[in-house]
Amino acid sequence: MSRTATHRPAKRRRRSRHDDPVAVDLFSGFGGLTQGIKQAGFETIMAANHNEFKVEVHEANHPEAEHWIADLVDPESADYHDDCYFRLLSKHEIGRGCGFDVDFPGYQGTFVVWGTARAQTDGFDNAVSPAVGAWIGARLRAVLDVPEAIA
């Protein structure tokens, strides 16, 4: 098995503080969702897509975000989780899986679960295993550049 992910550091330094609302855009495409997230008041700090051209376009439109060229659903990838089963995670599990209540003591923020109420009830949209949530969180913490947050 070979490692399938390629990291591309941000081309421009972020201006956000660590308590600002942030987002991660998985399957980012050209960046339409990232633009909508920005208009909603969030800053996308990391984006991933399997298509290098789409990552290049996204990178040109959002140079402050870290970028990954990665096939996030390829089971043959060396960094794919064997236990990638799917179920809806609660907001607490998302925060715990990402480690924010551990890495940022006293953080009382709310974790936004995207998707319609029906999709959330049916278990779609935010449907990852706790291990995958931790995997995403580990990369997210590294992107935040907070010395006390790096494991």
Write the pLDDT tens digit of every residue in 67-111.
Answer: 888 777 665 655 544 444 444 455 555 555 555 544 445 545 444
- At residue 1, does pLDDT exceed 70? no
Residues 1, 52: one domain? yes
User: What pLDDT is stored for residue 59 in this prediction?
Assistant: 92
Please say which residue of 49, 80, 111 terminates a domain.
Answer: 80
Is 104 in the same domain as 124? yes
Let me know if residue 144 belongs to a domain: no
Please state, in angstroms and rounded to a whole number, the distance separating the CA atoms of residues 20 and 94.
Answer: 17
Residue 53's pLDDT is 92
CA distance 14 to 136: 19
Mean pLDDT score of the chain, rounded to an integer?
65
Region 107-135 average pLDDT: 50
- 55 plus 87 within the same structural domain: no
Q: What is the pTM of this model?
A: 0.47
Res. 125: pLDDT tops 60: no
Give the range of the structural domain holding residue 104, as residue numbers without chain letter: 81-134
Confidence (pLDDT) at 56:
93
Q: Does 149 reside within a domain?
A: no
Average pLDDT over residues 2-23: 68
Closest-CA residue to 48 (of 74, 85, 20, 21): 74
Cα 107 to Cα 96: distance, rounded to the nearest angstrom: 12
Q: What is the identity of the amino acid at 95?
A: G
Instruction: Kindly state whether residues 7 and 67 are assigned to the same domain.
Output: yes
- The answer on 120 and 74 residing in a single domain is no
pLDDT of 62 strictly over 60: yes
pLDDT number for residue 27: 82
Q: What is the pLDDT of residue 9?
A: 75
